[in-house]
Amino acid sequence: MKPDSPLLKILACPLDKGPLILDESRSALYNPRLRRHYPIVDGIPQLLPSSGVPAGISGSAASGPDSGA
């Protein structure tokens, strides 16, 4: 998925229905409100509530675009 993809304007978090941010470093969509990453597998966002991973679980403890790290 590319940062300028029109899909980013219409995709929403399955839990809070808010917008998502592309996190290219993790190949995931990120919800900064819930601090959850949704993986992108073979170009397809995995947007099931159960597929969301809390920030910091996989990878470094300070992860996510808004972590300041």
Residue 42 lies in a domain: yes
In a domain, 48, yes or no: yes
Q: Which two tokens stand for residue 68?
A: 């300041």
What's the sign of the alpha-carbon dihedral 19, 23, 26, 27?
positive
Q: What is the CATH number of the domain that holds 38?
A: 2.20.25.10
Question: Which pLDDT score, from 0 to 100, does residue 6 have?
Answer: 86
Find the domain containing 12 and state its range: 7-54
**Residue 62 pLDDT greater than 50, yes or no:** no
**Has residue 60 been placed in a domain?**
no
Tally the domains of the chain: 1
pLDDT at residue 65 above 90? no
20-50 pLDDT, tens digit each: 999 999 999 999 999 999 999 999 999 999 9
Residue % of the chain over a pLDDT of 90: 64
